[in-house]
Amino acid sequence: MPPLRIGPHEVETPVVLAPMAGITNPGFRRLCREQGAGYYVCEMITARGLVEKNPLTFRMIAFDADESPRSMQLYGVDPTSLGRAAEMVAERDLADHIDMNFGCPVPKVTRRGGGAALPFKRELFRRIVRATVKGAGDLPVTVKMRIGIDDEHHTHLEAARIAVDEGAVAVALHARTAAQRYSGAADWSAIARLREAVPAHVPVLGNGDIFSAQDALDMVARTGCDGVVVGRGCLGRPWLFGDLEAAFAGRELPAAPNLGQVAATLRRHAVLLCEHMGDHKGIRDVRKHIAWYLKGFPVGPELRRSLGMVESIDHLDELQSGLDPHEPFPAEADGPRGRQGSPGRVVLPEHWLDDPDDPSVPFAADVGHSGG
């Protein structure tokens, strides 16, 4: 595989870490970067929170000194807010690359016309991408999207053409509809159709069901995409990026880690979170990762419960001393992880599907924001 180029930035391994709320903070990104090369995108940042200088928003915009390129994902529904936010990113040197979120299927996002709901409104979508690209100046802008709202409303092909026309330098597709959420299987054939529809010089990235290096190789072979986006597949398995780096370079994959090596990686994760968040918040944050790290390993329920309530790095060391470090990596740990759930109706603003050319911003679409 050739290197992946996003505007002026190039990495040897064509892999992108998907932004995940509450996951892709600086500690987790550093842990993944230590495993292998790629683009590592921070948690989603709301454009309105940035423009209003929300303190929580600015705390979330954190990059290590050696993190390059610094990739930020922006979210919004209003072209004006997104344009101003992109200007701030460029003028204040907050990031080197802006990714745009048009893939989130969460009801609190789609009910306001955001995320995966927005590309249906093609004129509003066009104005948003145009404003962001203009505001970003020399910074490259990329777009991430889903196939569409549901099986009756596919939008990815037209949205990709619009995005490229308005200056996006790459497009990424999570090959599910918003209605699927994270259930079922990703339709990789949609990625292949997108690759055919977009000019050859524009990278197309595939997302969905990348749980191993072989999955990534298979996706590229079947779709012709230029790289892969990894989300749930790296939860509790940051070494997946090392596997991907080896696979795309044509090298033999590293051996799967035993329980001792997994425990050491978990400890490293905890230390990095504590350095970023402080000891109290960092150790509490690592708790949600423990079940992912230990998936499939024969660890008793009492020890699992104790680890899930770990209070400090010393406490983690004490608890992990009860693990068998020689326990081999289990086959049960392979495959899907993270949220899957079931498909469901997509919650949309009233009359959202009436006119795809209506450029109106939904009422109060950007009023509520969490800073991220």
Task: Say which residue the tokens 């800073």 belong to.
Answer: 371
Catalytic residue from among 42, 104, 225, 234? 104
SS percent in the chain: helix, strand, coil, step 5: 40, 15, 45
Q: What is the full DSSP assignment across 257-323?
A: P-HHHHHHHHHHHHHHHHHHH-HHHHHHHHHHHHHHHHTTS---HHHHHHHTT--SHHHHHHHHTTS
Concerning whether 104 is annotated as a catalytic residue, the answer is yes
Using CA atoms, how far apart are residues 169 and 176, in angstroms rounded to an integer?
22
Cis ω before 69 (30° cut-off from 0): yes
The encoded tokens of residue 27 equal 């500690």
- What is the CB-side half-sphere exposure of residue 178 using CA atoms within 13 A? 33
Using CA atoms, how far apart are residues 270 and 252, in angstroms rounded to an integer?
29
* H-only helix segments in the chain: 26-33, 47-51, 55-60, 79-91, 107-110, 122-136, 156-165, 188-197, 213-223, 240-248, 259-277, 279-294, 301-307, 313-320
| ∠ Cα 330 339 22 (to 5°) | 105
Task: Say which residue the tokens 């959202």 belong to.
Answer: 352
Using CA atoms, how far apart are residues 227 and 205, in angstroms rounded to an integer?
5
Using CA atoms, how far apart are residues 63 and 68, in angstroms rounded to an integer?
9
Using CA atoms, how far apart are residues 286 and 301, in angstroms rounded to an integer?
18
Cβ–Cβ < 8 Å for 366, 49: no
Task: Say which residue the tokens 């740990």 belong to.
Answer: 333
Catalytic amino acids?
104
